[in-house]
């Protein structure tokens, strides 16, 4: 495998989006169990959020050597070195016999050109009763130069995310998050036409729009939103 270097900048831009991170992580928390593989773990900011209610082994898979090194040092500094493992690479880097109870892709699948092949490979590494969890940006009509600049091949909707469903897994949940955010993004498309959000705009979104979405989303039955979540499960043995 050739050396991979991440071209995105959203890890820094969204690092302080605490309300958003708490919101989506709270929505998927009950689906996390057992030994977890986090694909595209970056610098580990999502790892800290998701691992709190799980007790199994946690493997952080990151193809960028620089980010993987930062992640390893961060885990050591937090006293996680025993339970957590940072691996620089992709699914193909792992031993073929290495399987997991949960595999998560948090804002990652849209960065992978052959997403269907990635999901098939992930399904092969899932234990009976295990889950694949995907969180990705929603709606191709919201695709901007910002998406392109940070390495997004696409954004998803229900139909396109269902198309990458691996054989042998049942779709357990699919829902949108951040209904109010989609309005803000649409307004940007029509009026501001910015290719890159500013830190102050992200701060406003996180402080005001996300709390509003937390109220509106359940009213709309999670049928509208700027991000989409898909959860697949393998049948128990």
Quick check: is 5 in a domain? no
Quick check: is 4 in a domain? no
Mean pLDDT of the chain: 89
Residue pair 119/166 in contact by the 8 Å Cβ criterion: yes
Least confident of 26-35, 95-104, 169-178, 197-206: 197-206
Across the chain, where does the E strand assignment appear?
A: 36-39, 58-62, 84-88, 100-106, 126-137, 169-177, 227-234
Residue 66 is part of which domain span? 10-234
- What mean pLDDT do residues 87-111 have? 95
Q: Does an H or E element contain 161, and which?
A: helix 158-162
Number of domain units in the chain: 1
pLDDT at residue 12 greater than cutoff 60: yes
Q: Is 230 helix (H, G, I), strand (E, B) or coil?
A: strand
CATH code of the domain covering residue 126? 3.40.50.150
What is the C-alpha to C-alpha distance for residues 194 and 213, in angstroms, rounded to an integer? 22
């Amino acid at each position: 495998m050739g050396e991979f270097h991440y071209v995105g900048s959203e890890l820094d831009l969204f690092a302080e989006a605490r309300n958003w991170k708490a919101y989506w992580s709270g929505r998927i928390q009950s689906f996390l169990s057992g030994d977890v593989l986090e694909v595209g773990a970056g610098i580990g900011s999502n790892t800290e959020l998701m691992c709190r209610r799980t007790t199994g082994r946690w493997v952080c898979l990151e193809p960028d050597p620089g980010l993987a090194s930062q992640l390893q040092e961060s885990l050591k500094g937090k006293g996680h070195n025993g339970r957590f493992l940072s691996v620089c690479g992709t699914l193909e880097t792992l031993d073929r016999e290495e399987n997991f109870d949960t595999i998560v892709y948090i804002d990652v699948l849209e960065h992978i050109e052959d997403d269907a092949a990635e999901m098939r490979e992930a399904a092969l590494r899932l234990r009976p009763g295990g889950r694949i969890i995907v969180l990705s940006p929603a709606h191709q009509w919201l695709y901007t130069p910002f998406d392109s600049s940070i390495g997004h091949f696409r954004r998803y909707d229900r139909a396109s995310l269902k198309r990458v469903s691996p054989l042998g897994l049942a779709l357990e949940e699919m829902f949108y998050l951040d209904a109010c955010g989609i309005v803000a993004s649409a307004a940007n498309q029509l009026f501001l036409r910015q290719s890159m959000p500013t830190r102050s705009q992200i701060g406003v979104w996180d402080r005001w729009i996300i709390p509003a979405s937390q109220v509106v989303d359940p009213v709309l039955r999670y049928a509208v939103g700027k991000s989409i979540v898909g959860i697949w499960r393998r049948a128990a043995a």
